[in-house]
Structure 1
Amino acid sequence: MTTTGNITEPSTPAPSSEPLPRTNPWVAMIAIALGVLIVSLDGTITAVANPILAHDLGASLSGLQWITNIYLLAMAATLVLAGKLGDRFGRRTVFLVGIVGFGAASAAIACAPSVTIVITGRLGQGLFGALIITNALALLRALFPAETLPKALSLFASLIGASSAAGPLLGGLLIEHTSWRWAFMINVPIALVSLVVGLLVLPKRQQVDSTPFDLAGSVLLAASLLPITYGLIQAPEVGWTNLVVLTLLAAGVVAGGAFVLAEKRAVDPLIPLRLFADRSISLGAGLTIISFFSLVGSLFFVLLFLQQINGDSPMTAGLHILPLSVANVVASSSSGWIIDRYGPRPPLIGGMLFSAVGFALFTGVDPHGSYLSLALPFTVLGLGVGLVMTSSVQAVLGNAAVDDAGPAAGMHQTSLQIGGILGTAVLGAVMAFAVADSFTTAMTDNDVPDAVVGDMSGEAVRAVAQGVTPLSSEMAPQTVTALHTATETAFMHGMHTTMWVGAGVSLLGAVLSIGIKRGRVVEGASSVH
């Protein structure tokens, strides 16, 4: 064995290794990139569709959160297991099965008659998306030689960040000119192209791998994430002291503890706990959570603000996200040389500081402002997310031994999904609390009659948290106007509060980034599956 920097690199190929394929890796990248594209797009494309779904299918705030969270939860619970499936049946096979399944689930959502079917389809997208993402990264490691692997990883991270940020823009264009259903149906032709190219150029496996599945770990990981996420979503509606919420959160924590114990005893654990002994890997995963927390959490509420408070069309709302997408691509693509010279620590610290400033700038946003008033915070936030997304990949993979690269990659991708879950769940809870705290005062300040104020229920407050004014046909015109103003005031207070929370979390991330080591990705022998 030889050691380079922080990387332990095998001097000879592992027993299951196969020679690098003769396929041009950049041609194969087409199939991989298209697969990653549809998965990343659908992580955020629903943000711009949320107000339309609420109107068309009668979705509540909790329902809208589940449409986003069930997708992220399904991926988070199965990403590492997806890597095990790739070990057993071949990366190419499992990747292509994911492509087919994701396309089918997208078609089902596009034809859905109810919110329940949409949520079910999103569950399928998440499960099949896990097969795509984990095995896409493994295929990249097998296809690209050491000298070009960092570029491929940088492109991979850039694609995830850029497509996640571009989701609302594409969704807005499709929704405005067609229907919200086409925001999902668009995945089908992309999946078909990825499937055809993948069948032609991705390398076939040559050997059988009998690596056992850690089914106990997979079940316990899902059993931990599901109740915690559900509890976080329900808490704003029923209260944080509600017995059901407390029970769900406690059950998730207990299952998480059982997962750790199971991994210690497993012959071939889902996530080798030795990975967490390296502070750069642990911190890299944590910083990934914080970064995606900021991206998904901010998009969820800012897009509600644009459409419900500003009255923007879906396409106009999507265009507001364009500066974030462009900045994300610029930061992701340019961070490679910084990492090469100085390691991932400087861009991680800088990225977290940019994110914190971006969040703080959002607190100065007012209703019906100019395009530039939102372009600046979106640009700054995009720079921050782009730097962190690329650097966190390098921090995790660059400090993992080659033998642990697969689980490390799965852990990194799982961190992305957990961050998205927390972004909508935690900031959703903050939003609901802040709106409930300010709505009554806003109604009183705007001379809403006491009788109307007294009739406002918890359901009305939840509507305000979506930017919807709770009206009834019996209200006088002046009362309607006053309620609109009160809703706008309460919603903006809630949104600004969530942005301050995001800024604080990002500052914490900047401090944590100081602990990252220099580690770089160094490629030894690659296993082609």
Structure 2
Amino acid sequence: MNPVAPHSSADPDETTTTTRRRSRQGRPGLTLVAVCFGLFMVGLDSTVVHIANPAIQADLGATFGQLQWIINSYLLALAVFLIPCGKLGDRFGRKRMYVTGVLLFGIASVAIGLSGSVEGVLVFRALQGLSAAMLMPQTIALLRATFPREQFGMAVGIWGGVSSVAIAGGPLVSGILVEQLGWEWVFHINAPIALIGIVFAGVFIRETATEKSGRLDYPGIVLLALALFGIVFAVVQAQAWGWGSATTLGVLVASVVLLALFVIVESRVAEPLLPLDLFRSSGVSVGGLVFVANFFAILGVTFLITLFLMNSLGNSTTKAGLMMLPMSAFSIPAAPLGAVLTSRIGPRRVAALGLALMAVGLAALTLVDLDSSYLLMALPFVVIAFGSGFAIPSGADLIVGGAPVHLAGVASGFQTTCIQIGGAIGTAVLSAIVAGQVAPAVGAARLPDEAAEAGAAGVLFEGVPSINGAFVGGMHLGLWVAAAFCAVIAALVVVAVREPRHHTVEEILVETAETGAGHP
């Protein structure tokens, strides 16, 4: 039997205030559950594609360059539209923007599996990236609007945990789905997640207040999108065009000109997409390079290593996913540990340490060849995971801590843009290095041009070990390039950055979460 509630003697004004506060906050716990569905999809799709790529190549006949674009079309769309979509959420409603993003992500995921062509996969991967840009900034914004200040740090911790589990589990989930059901189900699995997420969001998330003032910097958005696309497109296509060709150089020069125009526009518009005042602190600029170097290495190397594991070593997708697990799984404890270290000894030292660890791990991977023990691969994976886990929270603290207070939100979006651009450039550059090593070996063996595509993807050639040796050699060279890049940025952090004010662990975790969401 339910007891009858006693008569309340509370002050009516106090009761009204409490009611209003609850109305404004909505249902924090259920709101957190609702946004985690979209967050989980985006985290999962950041790592599942690498394992699925060889199956997509075999089924649809994708070229080596197209395999790169399956990854880069997503990264570029996410990078370009992240900050604008965050501002659109502020303008038109964060719940509305979040639900629309989840819906489009689910539709795009199903469309990828049904497309039946490489071109269709590329188009809908770009739509996935746009959808991720629509929903990600809203996740943190909705939590901030819903949770009381004293509980927000806890909510962010759960937010980060869900994202980490999704990213870590991606390779294994992808391996099992590809092996048991086909590569299409790597994307189809998002449909039920999106559907449940939309239902939860519709029922439990309350719309936040909208901002009617301000204008979107449309010229800035267009110029930045064209410039970033041009740079990545030129690097990817340089394998076919030639690095010294007029076409490659022309696209690169045009992209640099567009970047210069972007800077001019940002210096003159009233409400720029990326205010130039943000870069007055060296911590912001160098912190951005920390993220670029980190994800240049992580995503570029992951692209090559998965091809090596599956095409060169002949592992199943499930086994390849298990073999990749140390790199993603150890990042789960590494990031909170990096946040603790950052709060105690400062982001400058931790960022340099993290990138140095990554350089060591990448260099150690150059010992791996076709006959190596898996231990030679697993141990460097763990070192790289801890290096990346240290670099992310410390890099976030360098940027947000170094940014002017009124630009802290824009700084978060800048960080996430650096993540996507670093990953796209890393995938393109390291792949170009491998392709450049394989092409002469294919020519010397007098094989058709199509063999260069397969050789660059790590496919074994019976009786022609020189091609496989060229792939492994190119992979090693790419690893050395990534290691050198991480080492150079680590040195730059030490030399160019003054130690900013130390923040608490909770503040650093919030900064890191906002980095992942790109919340403006």
Q: CA deviation at 1:209?
A: 2.2
1:357 pairs with one of 356, 360, 369: 360
> How far is 1:513 from its partner?
2.6
Equivalence for 1:506 = 486
Instruction: Give 1:373 shift.
Output: 2.5
Shift of 1:399: 3.1
The offset of 1:168, in angstroms, is: 2.0
Q: Does the 8 Å CA contact 2:145/2:208 hold for their aligned counterparts?
A: no
* Aligned length in residues: 486
1:281-308 Cα distance to aligned partner (Å, 9 max, x none) = 2222211111111111011000000000
Q: Are the equivalent residues in 1 in contact too, given 2:25–2:145 (CA < 8 A)?
A: no
User: Would the alpha carbon gap of residues 58 and 83 (structure 1) be closer, same or farther in structure 2, given more than 3 Å must change?
Assistant: same
Q: Once the 2 structures are TM-superposed, how far is the Cα of residue 189 of structure 1 from its aligned partner?
A: 1.5
Query: What is the TM-score of this pair, normalised by structure 2?
Result: 0.87
Hey, what does 2:452 align to over in structure 1? 461
Establish whether residue 173 from structure 1 lines up as the match of residue 158 from structure 2.
no
Query: What is the rounded CA distance, in whole Å, between the counterparts of 1:163 and 1:390 in structure 2?
Result: 18
Of 131, 136, 145, which residue of structure 2 is paired with 1:133?
A: 136
Structure 1 residue runs of 4+, over 6 Å off?
Answer: none
Aligned to 1:81: 84
Is residue 420 of structure 1 aligned with residue 402 of structure 2?
no
Within the candidate set 261, 265, 284, 1:262 is matched to 265
Q: Aligned residue for 2:55? A: 52
- Give yes or no for contact 2:278–2:404 (8 Å, CA) kept in 1: no
Q: Distance in 1 between matches of 2:492 and 2:36?
A: 31
Say if 1:146 and 1:135 are closer, same or farther in 2 by CA, change over 3 A: same
Aligned position for 2:101: 98
Matched, 1:302 2:284: no
Counterpart amino acid of 2:179?
E
Indicate the SS of the match to 2:463: helix
SS for the counterpart of 1:369 is coil
CA contact (8 A) 1:138 1:406 kept: no
SS in 2 for 1:518: coil
Structure 1: 5+ residue stretches without partners: 1-17, 444-452, 471-480
TM-score by length of 1: 0.86
Give me the CA root mean square deviation: 2.5
Equivalent residue letter for 1:518:
P
Correspondence for 2:470: 490
Distance 1:297 1:464, change over 3 A: same
- How far 1:212 sits from its partner (Å)? 1.1
The 1:360–1:164 alpha-carbon spacing in structure 2 relative to 1, beyond 3 Å, is same
Distance 1:516 1:327 in 2: 30
Give the whole-Å Cα distance in 2 for the aligned partners of 1:287 and 1:348.
7
Counterpart in the other structure of 1:33: 36
The residue number in structure 2 matching 1:225 is 228
Matched, 1:286 2:289: yes
* Aligned counterparts of 1:169 and 1:495: Cα–Cα separation in 2: 23
Query: Percent identity at matched positions?
Result: 37
Give unmatched runs, 5+ long, in structure 2.
1-19
Q: Report matched runs for 1:142-291 at 5 Å.
A: 142-147=145-150, 149=152, 152-153=155-156, 156=159, 160=163, 163-291=166-294
Give the whole-Å Cα distance in 2 for the aligned partners of 1:409 and 1:213: 18
Letter in 1 for 2:287: G
Given the superposition, is the C-alpha separation of residues 437 and 511 from structure 1 closer, same or farther in structure 2, using an over 3 Å criterion?
A: farther
* Structure 2 match to 1:5: none
Match of 2:4 in 1: none
SS at match of 1:312: coil
The structure in which a higher percent of residues are helix is 2
Q: Cα distance, 1:224 vs. partner?
A: 0.4
Give the equivalent residue in structure 1 for 2:17. none
Q: CA deviation at 1:161?
A: 5.3
SS in 2 for 1:67: helix
Matched residues in 2 for 1:157 and 1:361: separation?
A: 29
2:334 corresponds to which letter in structure 1?
A
- 1:28 Cα offset (Å): 2.5
Deviations 1:273-332 (A, max 9, x none): 111112212222211111111111011000000000100000100001111122100101
Offset of residue 465 of structure 1:
0.9
Aligned partner of 1:105: which letter?
A
CA spacing shift, 1:295–1:437, aligned 2, 3 Å: same
1: CA distance between counterparts of 2:148 and 2:355?
A: 31
Q: Which amino acid aligns with 2:333?
A: V
2:64 maps to what in 1?
A: 61
- The CA distance in 1 between the partners of 2:346 and 2:157, in whole Å, is 14
Q: What letter is aligned with 1:493? A: G
